[in-house]
Amino acid sequence: MGKIVVKFGGSSLSEAKQFQKVRAIVEMNPDRCYVVPSAPGKRFSEDEKVTDLLYKTFRAAQAGEDFRVVFSKIRERYMEIKSQLNLSVEIEKYLDEIEAEVEKGVTEDYIASRGEYLNGLLLADYLGYAFLDPKDMIFFADNGTFDSERTNTVMSAKLAQVPRAVIPGFYGSIRNGEIHTFSRGGSDISGAIVARACGADIYENWTDVNGFLMTDPRIVPGAKPIRHITYRELRELSYMGAAVLHEDSVFPVHRAGIPTNIRNTNEPENDGTIIMHGVTDEPNPYVITGVAGKKGFSIVSVEKAMMNSEVGFGRKVLQAIEELGLSFEHLPTGIDTMCVVVSTAQLTPVKEKLVKRIMDLTSPDTLTIHDNMSIIATVGRGMVHNPGTAARLFTALSRAHVNVRMIDQGSSELSILVGVDDNDLEAAIRGIYEEFVRE
């Protein structure tokens, strides 16, 4: 028998009828042995996520206000699911306990984590699976970083004894068993950790979309779905803002060589997107896998004749960047120029100081800063095998009347990055997509 870890997002478990879909999915394949739930999400667009209500409860309690006003909304959500599904778990007892803890004063992480905890109790009862509390299996070091090795050792041993279980997402414990959460959206990470610990064949991440699309459908309506993508390609694309998954959820499974399958709870017949560990023989119908862009960058260009032979030039430019507390996104260089791409929001408050510092350190011939730039990543494992890809890309951009201000192929041969004016972002993405996809 194989092992599949299934993680369900908040919209997949927002109410009783979603629980029914989830159970049907779990029962459809007996290999689906470990289930990682999020807290109940929105049932309709103006609805509130339980996790948001829990943070509100915490803030109300801290401000000395009557937190029960918000907490009663949370209570109702769970009670309704329990009664509609005829469950026997004593969820009201757990809700009372949590309310009493809030009264006494608890940490923000503790209260935030209860959304997953309570949903896990309901789901375990509904599926007839054991309930395993991640506080005993997911550990954070004292400084708050995730302790992956200790977690993996303890969790693997536990899971070996419990063949089927529900394990709430989003949290673990720190120090003496105090609850600690990942950042928002962190149940994706919990699912990946469980998949690694049990040596799953596949990690299924069930959400409310049919996987990834080749580009943003707000820019290209009807953008085609991506059937297969590698973890490295995803990293290049998600970095540019195409995230469906929590970024940190990629590492545990990627390292263990376990593929992730993004699926849609509301459309289980759709195969979704498979994120593969390495390049396999899976055919890629297009030269590119996807194209994504992001606004809000500035390009700092430093130009100096014979820069290439001046020892320490690059270091001095980066020293100025570092001294002002900036991190850089890209670093394309030419024979006499060096460009540093930084986020405009980070740069603006220290712009003048940075200019002065670079001038003092490097005495360049010119120093210019272009604001309002977008970076577009065109990503594809197939690009390296297809001569002429760059030529096609730039022809497409010129056809779309887009002025390219920066080019960076990077060292991966997996992506080509171009910098364009913010106003040209949409036209550029449309142009590239049309060229490679609508042949």
Query: Which residues contact residue 180 at a Cβ distance below 8 angstroms, ignoring those fewer than 6 apart?
Result: 109, 140, 144, 171, 172, 173, 174
The rounded distance, in Å, linking the Cα atoms of 106 and 102 is 5
Site string for ligand ASP, 109-128 (x = CB under 6 A): ------x-------------
170 is a site residue for ligand ASP (CB under 6 A):
yes
The rounded distance, in Å, linking the Cα atoms of 260 and 273 is 8
Of the candidates 333, 381, 326, 395, the residue with the CA atom closest to the CA atom of residue 355: 326
Taking CB under 6 A as the binding criterion, the range among 183-191, 194-202, 227-235, 375-383 that sits at the site for ligand ASP is 183-191
184 is a site residue for ligand ASP (CB under 6 A):
yes
Q: For residue 191, how far is the Cα from the chain centroid?
A: 13
Which of 38, 289, 344, 362 lies at the binding interface for ligand ASP (CB under 6 A)? 38
Query: Cβ of residue 136: shortest distance to ligand ASP, in angstroms?
Result: 19
- Strand 165-166 relative to strand 130-131, pairing: parallel
Query: Which residues contact residue 86 at a Cβ distance below 8 angstroms, ignoring those fewer than 6 apart?
Result: none
10 is a site residue for ligand ASP (CB under 6 A):
yes
Which of 187, 207, 284, 362 lies at the binding interface for ligand ASP (CB under 6 A)? 187
Q: Which residues of 145-163 are buried (b: 16+ CB within 10 A; e: fewer)?
A: ebbbeebbebbeebbeeee
Considering the complex, state which of residue 186 and residue 252 has its C-beta at the smaller distance from ligand ASP.
186
134 is a site residue for ligand ASP (CB under 6 A):
no
Taking CB under 6 A as the binding criterion, the range among 79-87, 172-180, 185-193, 282-290 that sits at the site for ligand ASP is 185-193
252: left (phi over 0), alpha (psi -120 to 50) or beta: alpha
Query: Cβ of residue 204: shortest distance to ligand ASP, in angstroms?
Result: 15
The rounded distance, in Å, linking the Cα atoms of 121 and 37 is 10
Taking CB under 6 A as the binding criterion, the range among 181-189, 219-227, 382-390, 391-399 that sits at the site for ligand ASP is 181-189
169 is a site residue for ligand ASP (CB under 6 A):
yes
Which residue is nearest to ligand ASP, using beta carbons? 187
Considering the complex, state which of residue 14 and residue 415 has its C-beta at the smaller distance from ligand ASP.
14
Residues binding ligand ASP (CB under 6 A): 10, 38-39, 49, 51, 115, 169-170, 184-188
